[in-house]
Structure formats: structure tokens, C-alpha cells
Structure 1
Amino acid sequence: MRESEESGRVADNRRLWDERVPINAASSFYDLDGFRSGDEDLDAFQLNEVGDVTGLDLVHLQCHIGLDTLSWARRGARVTGVDFSAPAIERATELATEIGAADRAEFVVADALDAAEVLGHNEFDLVYTGNGALMWLPAIDRWARTAAMLLRPGGRLYLAEFHPLTEVLDDEHGTSAVRDYFGREARTYDSPGSYADWTAETAHNTATEWHHTLGDVLSAIAAAGLRIEFVHEHDTIPFQRYGALTARGTRFGYPDGSARLPLMYSLAATA
């Protein structure tokens, strides 16, 4: 893909996300009232795998409106959230003030791939990236190099992400491949509404995703000079990704007795 074409698709994505900030912030999906009251936005496995963050400098790449970022701040980290959407950063900054975390939370408008140039090298103990982020990045190798540059010696990258297999399975049962897992072409499509409110009226609906296999991600991290500590695959997901999934408390998974496929994965790597 030519650089100008890639830049145009990223610009379309930015317009899409800018428009959805107020929709998502007002939705029950994000439940900002509950978050203000103390509800947490992090999976239990993330808390267990990351461990104590008290006193750590943490940067969250692609932070959207900042709920995950501020959840880490509540647990004692000094946090910096980065997102390419200016309205998202504005809303995250407001939310930090609303919950009394403005003294330990900063939010910066920047593309995740430019974060090291914007924030500086060797500034953070932990680089964090959460659900549904990597598919919006055209260059996974550059993302991994950025993470490595942001980390201090001995610092960690932690990623919790939807398993790339979920992008190729059928929407009803989630058991049959209907798209090419190894396809590297960008996928541009029309996406009206928002995953937080499918009934919302929207004007900027052109989205482009880039598919990164699990091997792509692991290879990029290793090539960036980071040492992979673990890779864990998980059989639940925070929303009903396929029609056949059933509730598992606040999460969803395959029905009891059925064959399971990985729905999420997490990993940690050390500088």
C-alpha cells in the first residue's frame, strides 16, 4: 500500500473515532456513571498478570476515552494515555478530573506509532495496550519498536487483545473460518453506528482494519529486542462476539460441552 493511501485510511479512521466519542461516552456499554462510582474496567486476568503497579510510570497506547488508563491510576500508577483522537483525549482528561485522578493522569493526542517521538525514549516502566487496538494499526513492527523505545531498561510491555482468530470466524457460531487468517490486505468497510450503540446515527462510517496474526505480533516484539515472558490464550471475551456465545458472569464464552477456540490473548515482554 502506498504511504499516501495508508495515511488516507488512517485519517478516515480518525474521523470515525472522533464522531463516536460522545456516543460511546453516553452509552451503557461504557457506563461512565458506574465508573465514576468506582467500577473497574479491567479484566481479572489482566490484574493478575500485570501485578502491583503502585508507583510505576505507565503509558496506555490507543486509550480512547481513558477508562482502562484511569483504572490503572486508581491502582497506584502514574499514567499517560495516548490516542490519535483529540475528542477522545479531551473526554479522558475531563474524566480524570471527575474521579479525582488529574494529579496522576495525563492524556496526549498522538498516533500510537509516534508515541516515542512525542513522549520521549526510556520514560516508562510499563507500556499497556488493551482490547481492540492492534487492528487499527497499519504497521505492527513499528508499534513494537515504539513500545521498546518507550520502556526503561527492565520495563515491561503488556498486551491484552482480541485473538486474531476472532476476525476470521463466522458471526453466528464462531467456529468456521470465513475469511483468510493469513491475509495481509487492509480491509476497508462501511460501519454505521457504534459497537456501544448500534442505533446511533453517524456520518463518518468508513473504517479500515489491518489483520495481524499472533505470529506477526510475537515476531515484531522479539525483533524489537524485547524478551517475551508469556503468551496466554483465553476462552472468554467481554462482549457477545458470536451469536452462540453464552454469558460467563460479566464475560462471554462458548456453551458448556462445545469445542472452544481462543477468544482473547495476553502477553508480557521485558526490555
Structure 2
Amino acid sequence: MPVAGAARYRHAMTEGDLVPDWLRLNRANWDDRVGIHSASDFYDLSAFRAGASTLRSFERAEAGDVSGRRLLHLQCHMGQDTLSWARLGADTTGLDFSEPAIRTARTLAEDTRLSGRARFVVADVHEARTALQEQRFDIVYTGIGALVWLPDLDRWAQIVASLLNPGGFLYLVELHPFSDVLGEDGRAVEHDYFDTRGLHIDHPHTYTGGPALTHTRSVQWHHPLGEVLTALANAGLRLDFLHEHDVTLFQRFPVLEQRGDEFRFPEGHARVPLLYSLRATRPDT
């Protein structure tokens, strides 16, 4: 899935207990977003059909040569990242809980003549093993803005480990949780880094702009970096690297400057991490 937009919509949040029907709310919210996203400049499906990649250069470098490798993309939304890996030669599978998103992904695969290298499955990430018939993969990839939609990272990490071949690895790229504690102007700490309670959000628009949503409610969770790393370690995965990046994909704070398809702090400005990436391997034994 793409950028969650949590920091941009802090003003719409109210703290509260975990909403019991969070999965239903989130699925309805994401189903509603698909038509808006597919028509947006943010996703620019026309450029993608013409050959554009949605992967950042550091992702291609950090993941290494994926040619001929079996890659699973969890929470793939409309499949552009999945198909970008397929363009690099991977045998890809994208999984997402939104049926409209998967329909769009399958159409994109046909339009880009990548259907031979990419298949798409409708399922919640927690049901991935059953939905994929106990298959295993060389690489499990999770892209930006995915983890905030998951309440239990220990459970998620165990699922990831179970989907990997021995010697295979998780490659994760995410919004850095430290940037979530800053206010909308990016100048001061306004939110509790260690507050991991479910946040109930009611906002009329998705992060791409466009028409109002019908299903406006969702639930998200903040996951400190230590929580992510500990969940992976508890699942038996070995951390190969953790890299923090001073770039992001959208105008998260007013001070950021756009350079190409990335947003950075201006020269001489104090920086905080905006993204992080990590690779964690399932040992051979």
C-alpha cells in the first residue's frame, strides 16, 4: 500500500481504544480510494503504462538483482511497485485486501504485458499463507505506508518469516516513525513517539486529493522503530542492514524541496529521517 498520510491528517485524529471492526473499516476505506487514486496525478497510471517505474533508485540497489527470483509484495494496493519489480525480471505476486485495487492491478498487468511475470491475489495480509497455498518466496517486499494499517507487528513478522524460503529475505521500505512525532509544519515535536494505541481517523479525502470519500473512517497504528526490529528478531529473521533516508515522496512538511520525484530538506537545514529501509534474512537453518 502507499503512503498512509497519517502525519498530514493529524488534525483529524482522535485517540481511543482499538476499534473492534478495524479491518472492515479499513477495507471499506481503501476500496473507496481506488477509483480516486487510479485517476490521480499522484499515481499517474498513464506514465506507468508507458514504462515508468515506481521504485526508488536506492530500492533497486538495496534489493539487488531480482531477475528470476520469486517476489511477494504484501499490501500491494494497485500493483505498481509489484509490476515495477516484474519489469526488473522478478516473478512477482501482489497481495492486497481490496478487491477493486487488485482488479486495477490485474488490468495494469495486462496493459503493460507483464501478466506472465505478475499475478495478484485478494486477501488480508494475515491470511496470506492460506491464500497463497503455503507457497514460499525468495523475497517478501513491503512498501511505503503499509505498517500503519497493522495492529500487531509480532504477528505480521511471523507471517513474513513463514512466507520466506530459507536464505530468502524481507525487504521493507517505510515512512520513518520519528517523523510522525513532528507537527504539520515539521518544526516541533507534538506527538508521543511511544503511543502505539489505535488511532481512529475520520477524514473526507485521501492523500491524493480529488473527490470526497464515501467511507471516511479508518484505524491506524504508530510503530516505533524498535518495535519493528524486535518483531523481526522474534520471528527468527536476521537483520542485514537498516538505512535511514532524508528523502520522502510527498510534501510532508512545508520546508521540504522537490528534487526530481523526491522531497528533501534544503541545503543547510537540520534534517530528520523521513524514510527507512531494511533487509532481514531467514537463516538457512
Quick check: TM above 0.5?
yes
**Which residue pairs with 2:103 in the alignment?**
90
The counterpart of 1:189, out of the listed 201, 220, 223, is 201
Name the counterpart of 2:94.
81
1:267 maps to amino acid:
L
CA–CA separation in structure 1 for the residues paired with 2:159 and 2:70: 16
Structure 1 portions without partners, runs of 5+: none
| Alignment deviations for residues 205-253 of structure 1 (CA, whole Å, 9 cap, x no partner) | 0011111110000000010000000000000001111111111221111
Q: CA deviation at 1:122?
A: 5.4
1:206 aligns with 2:217: yes
Contact 1:122 1:153 in 2 (8 A): no
**Which residue does the alignment assign to 2:35?**
22
**1:34 matched to which residue of 2?**
47
Shift of residue 7, structure 1, vs aligned partner: 4.7
| Pairs within 5 Å for 1:244-255 | 244-255=255-266
Counterpart check, 1:137 vs 2:121: no
CA distance in 1, matches of 2:148, 2:46: 29
Moved more, 242-251 or 212-221: 242-251
1:20: Cα distance to partner? 0.7
Contact 1:245 1:253 (8 Å CA) reproduced: yes
Displacement after TM superposition at 1:121 (Å): 3.8
In structure 2, C-alpha distance between the alignment counterparts of 1:122 and 1:155, rounded to whole Å: 13
Gaps of 5+ in 2: 1-17
RMSD of equivalent CA atoms = 1.1
Structure 2 partner of 1:258: 269
Match status 1:156 vs 2:169: yes
User: How far did 1:6 drift?
Assistant: 4.7
- The corresponding residue for 2:192 is 180
Helix, strand or coil: the match of 1:21?
Answer: helix
TM-score by length of 1: 0.95
State the distance in 2 between where 1:57 and 1:9 align.
31
Q: What code does the residue aligned with 2:139 have?
A: L
| SS of structure 1 residue aligned to 2:46 | helix
Q: Which residue of 2 aligns with 1:229?
A: 240
Superposition misfits of 4+ residues, deviation over 4 angstroms: none
Where does residue 106 of structure 1 map in the other structure?
119
Aligned residues: 265
Shift of 1:142: 0.8
Look up the match of 2:138: 125
SS at match of 1:203: coil
Specify the alignment match of 2:11 in structure 1. none
- The letter for the 1-side match of 2:214 is A
So what's the TM-score if we normalise by structure 2? 0.91
Give me the whole-angstrom Cα distance separating, in 2, the residues matched to 1:117 and 1:43. 31
CA contact (8 A) 1:120 1:150 kept: no
Alignment partners' CA distance in 1, 2:71 and 2:207: 27
What secondary structure, in the 3-state scheme, does the structure 1 residue paired with 2:86 have? helix
Q: 1:257 to 1:19 in 2, by over 3 A?
A: same
- Secondary structure of 1:28's partner? coil
Supply the AA of the counterpart residue of 1:182: F
C-alpha separation between the residues in 1 aligned to 2:39 and 2:196? Answer: 35
